[in-house]
Structure 1
Amino acid sequence: MERPADLAAAIDAAAEVLVGVLDSAASRHHISVSPTQLRVLSLISSRPGTNVNRLAELLDVVPSSASRLCDRLEATGLLRRVADPRDRREVRLRPTAAAEKLLRELTERRHRAVQAVLDRMPPRAQHELLLALLAFGQAAPPAAAEQQTDSAVRTA
């Protein structure tokens, strides 16, 4: 395959297709929470002990906005606020069992959707894609690599 004239644009377009596959896996199954709420759940699930201020930093929002998101998630039974045993003034955010189940189901649906596309690709292309994505991940700046843990639901 010949290198496209604008490689970055071609990769961006391919990434949009991947995001579309991932999005469709979530939207076809009528997820009851918004993409932002899913991102919050993913962030706190992957970062035990997160508090509202840290969540606000991760989301790049003011703490009051992060707190309102947590209020809505707590009202739906997907999030708990618990006192830190070392400092009772500090409140930690914890996903509930229902939230963990929701995230697990979403991940499984997304994996099945990606696998369906991979199954239509030749094995060699699958392997080359994996190698290219791994190399891309290693070349990405550290801040982008840290954000990968919540990418599973960022676009959901």
Structure 2
Amino acid sequence: MERPPNLAAAIDAAAEALVNVLDSTASRHQVSVPPTQLRVLSLICARSETNVNRLAELLDVVPSSASRLCDRLEATGLLRRAADPRDRREVRLLPTAAGRQLLRELTERRQRAVQAVLDRMPARAQNDLLIGLMAFEQAAALASGEQQKDPTVRTA
């Protein structure tokens, strides 16, 4: 396959197709939690020591905005706040069992949707896609680490 003249645009279009496959699983199954709240819940599940200030940093928003997002998740029973056992002045954000279950179900649906597309691709193309995405992930992590070292650069 020949390299397209605008590689970034071609990758952006392909990534959009992947995002559409992933997003369609939530809309088809009437997930009642908005995408931003799902992202918050996912970040909190992945980081057990998260508090509102750390969440705000991860989302690149002010703490009051992060707190309001948490309020909504808490009202739906997907998140709870708890005093940090090491410092009772700190409040940790914790997913509830319902929150973890929602993310598990959504992850399973997303993986099935991706697998359905992969099944239409030749095995070699599947392998090439995986290798390329893994290399992209590593490069993005390196770029993120470099940006975090530079206090003038903010990441989303």
Task: Tell me the TM-score normalized by structure 1.
Answer: 0.89
- Identify unmatched segments of 5+ residues in structure 2: 146-156
For 1:151, the equivalent position in structure 2 comes to none
For 1:133, the equivalent position in structure 2 comes to 133
| One-letter amino acid of the counterpart of residue 14, structure 2 | A
Q: RMSD of the TM alignment (CA)?
A: 1.2
Residue 137 of structure 1, CA deviation: 1.8
1:1-156 alignment, distance < 5 Å: 1-142=1-142, 144=144
Residue 143 of structure 1, CA deviation: 5.4
Q: Distance in 1 between matches of 2:71 and 2:129?
A: 41
Residue 48 of structure 1, CA deviation: 0.3
Q: Distance in 2 between matches of 1:141 and 1:33?
A: 28
Residue 144 of structure 1, CA deviation: 4.3
Q: Distance in 1 between matches of 2:143 and 2:81?
A: 27
Residue 81 of structure 1, CA deviation: 0.3
State the aligned residue count: 145
Residue 139 of structure 1, CA deviation: 2.2
- Identify unmatched segments of 5+ residues in structure 1: 146-156
Residue 138 of structure 1, CA deviation: 2.1
| One-letter amino acid of the counterpart of residue 109, structure 1 | R
Q: Which has the higher contact order (CA 8 A, sep 6+)?
A: 1
Q: Distance in 2 between matches of 1:41 and 1:106?
A: 12
